[in-house]
């Protein structure tokens, strides 16, 4: 099945980079398959430690994090990114996503929640909006820094 976003206006000229932090291979293979027809770039980790090492080293605007990782959870990642100059937008994934999780994620500074197994249309919509929000935030910070100089 062709990705209905591969030729649409939602696909930007600059490829979206996202990172999936999940110990679940089915989540990785599902997301990989969804993105085969897109220009989006997928990075993959399975633990908090791997994820933090990668986002500290590389500019990763969007992270999808499984609710629980072997060495922590989404809160661990969120807390670790608070002081980052280019803090990624954190989307939490869960098989048991409900309004309580969604409220926790939003109130603590996360971006959104995705239910697994992933739905392609929802993944593309939420990730694109998170990526766009991250880019707008970086542009605003750059403009504010330039104005102050």
Q: What is the pLDDT of residues 92-130, one digit of tens each?
A: 999 988 899 999 999 999 999 999 999 999 999 999 999
The CATH superfamily of 17-148 is Response regulator (3.40.50.2300)
The Cα–Cα gap between 31 and 20 comes to 8
In sequence order, which residues have a C-beta less than 8 Å from that of residue 143 and are 6 or more positions away?
none
**Domain boundaries defined on the chain:** 17-148
| pLDDT higher than threshold 90 for residue 55 | yes
In sequence order, which residues have a C-beta less than 8 Å from that of residue 78 and are 6 or more positions away?
90, 108, 109, 110
In angstroms, what is the C-alpha Rg of the chain? 15
pLDDT confidence of 135, banded at 50, 70, 90? confident
- Model confidence, pTM: 0.84
| pLDDT higher than threshold 60 for residue 144 | no
- What is the mean pLDDT of the segment spanning 9-19? 70
Strand (E) or helix (H) holding 135: helix 120-148
In sequence order, which residues have a C-beta less than 8 Å from that of residue 18 and are 6 or more positions away?
40, 41, 42, 43, 60, 61, 62, 63, 64, 127, 131
Considering only residues 144 and 26, tell me which one the structure prediction assigns the higher pLDDT: 26
């Amino acid at each position: 099945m062709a990705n209905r976003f591969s030729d649409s206006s939602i696909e930007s000229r600059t490829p979206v980079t996202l990172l999936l932090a999940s110990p679940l291979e089915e989540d990785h293979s599902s997301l990989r398959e969804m993105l085969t027809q897109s220009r989006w770039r997928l990075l993959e980790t399975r633990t908090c430690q791997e994820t933090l090492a990668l986002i500290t080293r590389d500019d990763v605007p969007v992270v999808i994090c499984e609710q629980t990782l072997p060495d922590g959870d989404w809160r661990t990642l969120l807390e670790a990114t608070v002081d980052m100059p280019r803090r990624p937008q954190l989307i939490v994934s869960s098989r048991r996503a409900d309004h309580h999780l969604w409220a926790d994620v939003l109130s603590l500074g996360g971006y959104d929640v995705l239910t697994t197994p992933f739905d392609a249309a929802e993944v593309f919509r939420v990730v694109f909006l998170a990526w766009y929000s991250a880019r707008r935030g970086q542009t605003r910070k750059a403009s504010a820094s330039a104005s102050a100089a």
